[in-house]
Amino acid sequence: MADAGQSYELLNVENVPAYIAGRPALARLVDPARITRVREVGDGNMNLVFAVEAEDGPGVVLKQSMPYVRVDPDWPITPDRNRIEATVLAAHGAAAPGLVPALYDVDETRHVVALENLSDHQVWRGRLNEGLRDEGVAGDLGRYVARVGFGTSVFGLGAEAHKAGLAASVNPELCEITEDLVFTEPYIEHEHNRILPANEPDVAAYAGDPGVRTAIGLAKLAFMTHAEALIHGDLHTGSVLVRAEGPGVARSTRAFDVEFAFYGPVGFDIGALWGNYVLAAARGFALGDEEHAAWALGLATRTWEAFEAEFTALWPERADPRVYGDGVLAAYLAKVHADAAAFGAAKAARRVIGFSRVTDIETLPEERRVKAIRGVLHAARHLLTRPADRPEPLFDRVGALLSAAAS
């Protein structure tokens, strides 16, 4: 249950050194006397996040949950999400080593997790907005989704461990946020919705389309009932940290912010990426950078092919091959693909209608923003109507729709 009352001390830049001194696991890692800088770096909707730098060491990141949404203190939410995040990070780190931040400490009293300091990485959304093209990241994320999607599933774990994992990861409050913000509010009159007058007919046409409404309803049902694997649950491009490859520096891709994780459909994570590639491409077309837009849409194929290849490579390790034969693999991959198209549509559309907007679109001048939003809604409708098309033709058509709306 959410506890809107503040019964524990919140962190701030002044009290972080004392906090570290009082946590043995952290004081071993970062000498409190040698801390050189504490910065508040959280710019998400939910939590306080501090990057701690120290002499002669890698530092640490502290992430604290409040008993309400950071951007809306009237919106209560369980601070226990932080404990769930720690459990999930451990599971994802085991399934997909090197693709999530390392976990150093969990404080269930003050609702703090201590994570690897990745200050040499940047949030992918920001880099995409700048027109930077980080090759390999989309494939890394396809592999991440595959490794987690296989490793925490019935295929990877077998019946008993899958049920235990599912029981330990029930996350009703965070799931309810997604059910409301992604699958419901954009399709009803709601105070969270913010629609530019010039986009009112676009939103009415999209959200009023009976085919769209049925597909979104079915996607919501799948989200709520298909407990396939311990998915990330909020894998947008703002949940990805990237360190670009350079002389003497290897590329690094990390999925972070796993507090929305739960046992859900694997296609939801692929779809979150696809929906955000559509938003990045809409920005590219709106700014007249067709090359970057086409590159961003090509990421959908990069992610899918890496996912498919990794999942297929893991398939021989499945726990129970007696009935789960190769026909099941082919059919399951087709199901994940179709799910991803519908979830991708829902994830893109919510960012241009409802609560929690994205900088890809919001930083565009209004006239271009109107066209980008129109294009995103046309793209979302196409993803909902042609979910079985392979990524390349599917996203070629999405590109044509975005380009037409931008012109």
Q: Binding to ligand SR1 by residue 69, rule CB under 6 A? A: yes
What tokens were used for 89?
């990070």
Nearer to ligand SR1 by C-beta: 72 or 326? 72
Q: Of 35 and 282, which CB lies nearer to ligand SR1 in the complex structure?
A: 282
Examine residue 44 and tell whether it contacts Mg ion (CB under 5 A): yes
Contact criterion met (CB below 8 Å) for 34 and 54: yes
Which residues, numbered 353-372, are part of the site for ligand SR1 (CB under 6 A)? 356
* Element of type H or E holding 368: helix 366-385
DSSP 284: H
Is 261 among the residues that bind ligand SR1 (CB under 6 A)? no
Which entry of ligand SR1, Mg ion, none binds 267, CB below 5 to 8 A by partner kind? Answer: none
CB 92 within 8 A of CB 230: yes
Q: Which does 177 bind (CB under 5 to 8 A by kind): Mg ion, ligand SR1, none?
A: ligand SR1
Q: Residue 220 or residue 318: which is nearer to ligand SR1 going by CB?
A: 220
Spatial distance between the Cα atoms of 374 and 202, rounded to a whole number of angstroms? 6
Distance of alpha carbon 90 from alpha carbon 380, whole angstroms: 34
Residue 69: which of Mg ion, ligand SR1, none does it interact with, CB under 5 to 8 A by kind? ligand SR1
The residues near 370 (Cβ < 8 Å, ≥ 6 apart) are 196, 198, 199
Residue 44 or 267 having the CB closest to Mg ion: 44
Q: Rounded to the nearest whole angstrom, what is the least distance from the CB of residue 234 to Mg ion in the complex?
A: 5
Q: Which of 46, 231, 279, 342 binds ligand SR1 (CB under 6 A)?
A: 46
Q: What is the DSSP letter of 32?
A: G
- Indicate which of Mg ion, ligand SR1, none lies near residue 30 (CB less than 5 to 8 Å, by partner kind): none
Residue of the chain from 257, 269, 308, 310 that contacts Mg ion (CB under 5 A): 257
On whether the CB atoms of residues 315 and 332 are closer than 8 A, the answer is no
The closest alpha carbon to 268, from 329, 323, 225, belongs to 225
> SS3 sequence, 138-158?
HHHHHHHHHHHHHHCCHHHHC
Judged by CB under 6 A, does residue 314 bind ligand SR1?
Answer: no
| Residues in touch with ligand SR1 (CB under 6 A) | 44-46, 69, 177-178, 181, 234, 356
Q: Which residues contact Mg ion (rule: CB under 5 A)?
A: 44, 257
